[in-house]
A and B are shown apart, each in its own frame.
Chain A
Amino acid sequence: MNWWANVADPQPRIGILVFPGSNCDRDCAYVVEQVMGATADVIWHKASSLPPLDAIIIPGGFSYGDYLRTGAIARFSPIMAAVTRFAEAGGLVLGICNGFQILLEAGLLPGAMLRNRSLSFICRDVHVRVENTATPFTGRCAPGQVLTLPIAHAEGNYYTDPGTLSSLKAGNQVIFRYCTTDGQTTTEATPNGSLDGIAGITNATGNVLGLMPHPERSAEALLGNEDGRLILRSLLDSILSGRYAPKPVLAS
């Protein structure tokens, strides 16, 4: 447990950010409590500091209506400065869909999102291959395992410059790639035109993950697919291991 953990409340606490226009915040809170057995702490974007947390989820949605550019306005919300400090201190941050886009705009992850190749919103199940299991988000996956996860986005076409792509690859920071059912990465298997089939990446230190597919939508047998649990349970394992507790920092 974290150095600041409340002894009376041994459950991990996961913060879920809510921006105006977030719409997967309630879904994430539901899986945090029902699937991970953790406490969900809903955090309003106007807050300037974070309560004690074991991890942060930035949920999907249309923060600020996706006006201007996805995630471009949310990065200026007061809470993002605290999130940046949390990430820099080694805290675990998971950005899903719009959350990934916000992490890119905030500079916590490299690269940018373009509109999907089809120019349309796409909502359907896709397959992704787990490229790196030595991360705090994929410990329960087997190397090269193919997961079925749903996507729902209009801007998931990941792009970055060749230098950054090389360094992502060199650092094993590409965590998920779109693939066929049998794990082949092909152009057709990439639903949105994403560079190198990228579906999810981490930062260099590995504690911040952004991905376009929605693990929280595929975590219950009743909904027909539980592959998302692997990611959520891996995150829980990492929290419980204590290895990813944010380092104490002096109040700024």
Chain B
Amino acid sequence: MKNILISILSIFFIFACSSTPVEKVDVQETTTVDLTATKQKDTDSEVVMNNVDVGEAYVTILFDYDDDTLREDSLEDLFAISRLMKADSMYTLLVEGHADERGTREYNLALSERRAKAVEDFLTATGVSSFNIEVVGYGEEVPVDASSNEDAWSKNRRAELFFIK
């Protein structure tokens, strides 16, 4: 014990005497978390949504650039969904909002969720219970077409509507 103390002190002494600036280097350790092998349960089971395969979107609603206003050509589809849902309250609708790649990811996340919300607001205004609608924003993360051109962007600015009964 005493020896260790002496050696620590002597190291300190060498450093203190030296006029040359000295830097000491440590190596940083890291651990990999792999979510691909097993679905982690410790995250939060409450917010894990039904991971059932919802299949193809029942309807896709398209939007203009940096806009969450429903276009007139979407209204017919939305009225049809409204009628369906009011006739059978067992239907639950999942509305997934998406954005094109232009602009920042986080702003696009908020924008995509607002697009999904615009669909929800329309449906609730026509008398559908908001209990039966779930909205989620995916931002620019899940494009239908990953190309960088207006054709792809116009397809990616969308809300996809799924029935999860």
Q: Do A and B come from one complex?
A: no
Instruction: Please report B residues at the A interface, Cβ cutoff 8 Å.
Output: none
